[in-house]
Amino acid sequence: LYTAPDSCEGRCGEPFSEEDECHCHAECERHGNCCEDHERHCGPDGFSSSHDSITDQELLELSEQLYGVDHNKARPSDIAINPQHHAGPDETGDKQDRSPQPLYKFVNEELFSKPTYASFIKLLDNYQRATGREEEVTAEELREQDHFLEEVMRTELMKKIFAFLQGKNRYGSEQEFVQDLKEMWFGLYSRGDGERDSSGFEHVFSGEVKKGKVSGFHNWIRFYLLEKQGVVNYFSHNFNGPWDTYPDVLGLQFSWDGFYKEVGSAFIGCSPEFEFGLYSLCFLARPGRACHLSLGGHRLSVQTYPWTKSTYGGGRRFIATAYVMSP
What is the C-alpha to C-alpha distance for residues 167 and 124, in angstroms, rounded to an integer? 33
DSSP state of 15: P
Q: Using pLDDT thresholds of 50, 70 and 90, give the confidence band for residue 49.
A: low
**Could you tell me if 185 and 313 lie in one domain?**
yes
**Could you tell me if 144 and 273 lie in one domain?**
yes
Among 73, 203, 210, 292, the one annotated catalytic: 203
**Could you tell me if 311 and 256 lie in one domain?**
yes
Among 41, 73, 237, 261, the one annotated catalytic: 261
**Could you tell me if 62 and 42 lie in one domain?**
no
**What is the gyration radius of the CA atoms in the chain, in angstroms?**
20
Domain ranges, residue 26: 1-53
Boundary (domain end) residue, out of 37, 53, 69: 53
DSSP state of 242: S
Helix (H) or strand (E) run with residue 69 in it: none
CA neighbor of 182 nearest in space, from 131, 118, 137: 137
Among 23, 73, 218, 292, the one annotated catalytic: 218
Other CB atoms within a 10 A radius of the CB of residue 244 amount to 8
pLDDT of 273 higher than 60: yes
Over the stretch 56-94, which tens digit does the pLDDT of each residue have?
999 999 999 999 999 999 999 999 999 999 999 999 999
What is the C-alpha to C-alpha distance for residues 64 and 140, in angstroms, rounded to an integer? 36
**Could you tell me if 93 and 45 lie in one domain?**
no
**Could you tell me if 12 and 68 lie in one domain?**
no
Instruction: Give strand ranges (E) for the chain.
Output: 79-81, 104-107, 208-210, 213-215, 232-240, 248-256, 259-268, 290-295, 298-312, 316-325
**Could you tell me if 213 and 306 lie in one domain?**
yes
Q: Is 261 a catalytic residue?
A: yes
Helix (H) or strand (E) run with residue 14 in it: none
pLDDT > 90: percent of the chain: 75
Q: Is 159 a catalytic residue?
A: no
Is the CB of residue 246 less than 8 Å from the CB of residue 81? no
Q: Using pLDDT thresholds of 50, 70 and 90, give the confidence band for residue 176.
A: very high
pLDDT > 70: percent of the chain: 97
What is the pTM (predicted TM-score) of this model?
0.88
Q: Is 203 a catalytic residue?
A: yes
**Could you tell me if 44 and 81 lie in one domain?**
no
Amino acid at 198: S
**Could you tell me if 42 and 67 lie in one domain?**
no
What is the C-alpha to C-alpha distance for residues 54 and 114, in angstroms, rounded to an integer? 32
Q: Using pLDDT thresholds of 50, 70 and 90, give the confidence band for residue 192.
A: confident
- Mean pLDDT (the chain, rounded): 93
Q: Report pLDDT for 4.
A: 77
- Cα torsion 228, 303, 261, 114 to 10°: value is 10
Q: Domain count of the chain?
A: 2
**Could you tell me if 225 and 282 lie in one domain?**
yes
